[in-house]
Structure 1
Amino acid sequence: MGTGILEAIEGLEKENANLQPELVTAERARELLSAYARAEKLVSFGIAALSRKLDDSAELARLTGSSVAKAKNVVATAKVMASSEDLSSALQHGDISLDQASEIAAAEESAPGAASELVAVAQEPPFHVLREKARKVKLEAEQHRDLAGRQHRARKARSHSNELGMVHIHMELEPHLGAPIAVRAEAEAQRLDRRAKAEGRKEPFECHLADAYALMLSGSGRGRAKRPELVILVSHEVAKRGWTHVQEGESCKIPGLGPVSPRVAKEIASDAFLNGVFYDGKDLRNICRWTRNTPIEVRLALELGEPPDFDGIRCVDCGNRFRPENDHLDPHIRGGPASTTNLKPRCYSCHRAKTERDRKAGRLKPRTAKRAPP
């Protein structure tokens, strides 16, 4: 035992010595990159399995040249692998990476048996889709185990400066507190972005978002958003029982973020606009208006996400949750309605790509050339 890995290392060293990326074609580079990636996944299994035997994060960090925090995560993943054949087998055969295994292990620990489904999700990129699914599985399982109390105890904030002298402010807030702050900051950043474009300045949206948080923290930001700053979806049965607990198949959550305590939801409901959502399976009651402006009822329905999960909005193409835009499946210019059946969320890049596909298919007018300045 062990001679095989030593021979494999020797062979890999020879491959590295002979590797000349600038001399290979792009197609060959992709083949080699795929092989190296698979080799890394296979090696990850050995590292995880042996780290479980040693159970020493400090030594693992030293041997792998990683941080102690990452080493602790590897050891935790390895311990879950011992009781999950699906997870262990997937990493052993190079079907998933160690990072993917860590996400799956965290969900498997809270919801035993979840690894089988998550391993299948991991086969389809991008990585954030797996992370999102694993997080959802974990939170739904933990909802019945004093999740709200643990979230409250886990809140924290810290700050530090980097090598450029920039100040990093990091906060971890309970969902019902953090969600409205994030929505207000994004609304302020969008205003700053529009103003910058009008003035001929072009900066990444993240820069405007940083300015928005700075304005809000200093008390100068407007921070008013068109969409609701906080939406909590509560099953009628939870409210009927007195907002005490959530049973299997019921919801008390912020779509896109996760569960909140029924007690917290009740406090917020005492001073909030209440809306009833009626659905049958995956069929949400449709509201149509033939206009570019989206009715408030439709906006609210879109914010909730697709029934019956109501897991918030994300790009239908890539799964990204950052700044999704409502895209008309049947373009507005062709009479497409502003309805839940005709509006789907897409991130900026996917929205532009879909618009170009519509234009090439003749569903939109050709792009007009910009007029030259006089």
Structure 2
Amino acid sequence: MKIAFYGSSLLSSYWNGAATYYRGMLRDLAGRGHRITFYEPDAYDRQKHRDIDPPPYAEVRVYPATPEAMRAVVAEAKAADVVVKASGVGVYDDELLAGLVAASRPDAIRIFWDVDAPATLAELAANPGHPLLEAMPALDLVLTYGGGPPVVSAYESFGAAACIPIYNALDPSTHHPVPPEPRFSADLAFLGNRLPDREARVEAFFLDAAARLPERAFLIGGSGWADKPMPANVRHLGHVYTREHNAFNTTPLAVLNIARDSMAAVGYSPATRVFEAAGAGACLVTDAWDGLGLFLEDGREVLVARDGREVAEHIAALTPERARAIGEAARTRITREHTYAHRGAQVDAILRAVAERKRERGAA
């Protein structure tokens, strides 16, 4: 099928946490014979911070962040068999959604792909006139980055014809063990941009743990933290490019995953970092959230903490031998059950089933 995908960015992970999700998913779908064009706006300096060149698995169309350019790329949706509007494009999101519903063919599969379902659902609850609610009757599917049963139930209550979580996963060709790099040396490392609904949890789980272990080394990567007061044993890196993630995950004794407030509240929402770290064989420490057991087993494949004190206790007790054992167990589990080949097969089957139903309705 010919897929037109309108998202934030495929080429850059700069202020764009969905980049590796898009890459893994679309690479696998292209390998299954789908032809993909990815449309991304030139916004937020992402094109100045590209992680990759345009890949062979998708044609990438970068358009100026203007109303005229947006309308021009929307018009191209009429040639696609599948039209995907992702959440959080960042510019003209509402206009993109309405335009794509209008421009796509009646026989095309129309999808809203939500990479931040808790935030979107909060908006829908607060605004009965939300553009997504107006577009919902025309959508064949809502696919989500995660969220499990709570998100499915919520979307169905808002009138979605179907809501299916397509979880983050591992691309083993991209995220895998590499030799350590001294600049990423630490007892505990955390990678994530500074966001309003993440900052308090970073304070509670990461900075508090660092303050409890002043003799240990802590490392934080991601944009926005430069002016954040931190304990003296925390070193700040700034933006870490995706090509550096393997070394960032492989080098420290352990790495920390911290869910954003909304993701933790809903549960069933493993971040891309979980799979990247597991793929690199890292020993992962994570905050607690419902649904974690679907992906990793506490105590054997991951260490779960409920606050900074428990994070500090894990690090104080962790030996290099146990860290390696946990990291290898996680890598084995994720490689066996949670790769983008698994997710791509799921999406491919969904698309073919929906296309068949639409053909049958059209022939009736």
TM norm. shorter chain > 0.5:
no
Q: Whose relative contact order is higher, 1 or 2, with alpha carbons under 8 Å and at least 6 apart?
A: 2
The structure that is strand-richer by fraction is 2
Q: TM-score band (shorter)?
A: under 0.3
Per residue, is there more helix in 1 or in 2?
1
State the TM-score, normalized to the length of structure 2. 0.23
Find the structure with the greater CA-based Rg.
1
TM-score where L is the length of structure 1? 0.23
